[in-house]
Amino acid sequence: MKCPFCKSDDTRVVDSREGKDGFSVRRRRECNDCQERFTTYERIHHAEVIVVKKDGRREEFDRNKIIAGMRKACEKRPVSTEIIEDFVSGLEKELLERGEREISSEEIGEKLIDKLYDIDQVAYVRFASVYRSFKDVNEFLSEVTGLLKEKE
């Protein structure tokens, strides 16, 4: 493992722990040259889950894409990174435990929308407007009106 500070290959593991999600290992490392400490995470690579897109394309499940989409929807909102990471870890675990090799992007998208609805309704509307491809302001207003009716 290269030191991110001095780029030396001479590093050692000081501490190892299982990650919160059960699918990763957190390692605390120290560089023997510059004595700086840094943390690395190792993720267990399972049999790949393939995501089937709306147009029929297939690509490997990428947790980073889901995290990026949720972060974008939650930008400038009071939603912690930990909530997003925990949700994505739980989703990934659920998909792996199902044992299915393929899953539709629609199913993943609906799970994201449901979660965003629970944690922040502004983030929910932002994500839904892109995911459901609102074509005009009326579709947007219809979604917001539905949210307001549910609150009453």
User: Please, what are the averages of pLDDT over each run of 10 residues along the chain (152 residues)?
Assistant: 94 90 85 95 75 92 92 94 92 85 91 91 86 73 73 61
pLDDT at residue number 115: 92
Whether residues 123 and 105 share a domain: the answer is: yes
pLDDT at residue number 7: 94
Whether residues 112 and 65 share a domain: the answer is: yes
Q: Could you tell me if residue 6 is inside a domain?
A: no
Which two structure tokens, joined as six digits, stand for 50? 């393939």
Strands 11-18, 24-31: pairing is antiparallel
Q: Which H/E stretch holds residue 88?
A: helix 81-98
Q: Could you tell me if residue 3 is inside a domain?
A: no
Which two structure tokens, joined as six digits, stand for 63? 């947790």
pLDDT at residue number 151: 61
- Rounded to the nearest 10°, the torsion over CA 41, 42, 47, 51 is 20
Q: 16-20 long-range contacts, Cβ below 8 Å, gap at least 24?
A: 20/86, 20/89
* Residue range of the domain that includes 34: 11-43
Q: How many domains, in total, are found in the chain?
A: 2
Q: Could you tell me if residue 1 is inside a domain?
A: no
Whether residues 76 and 139 share a domain: the answer is: yes
Residues 77 and 124: beta-carbon distance below 8 Å = no
pLDDT at residue number 43: 75
Whether residues 75 and 117 share a domain: the answer is: yes
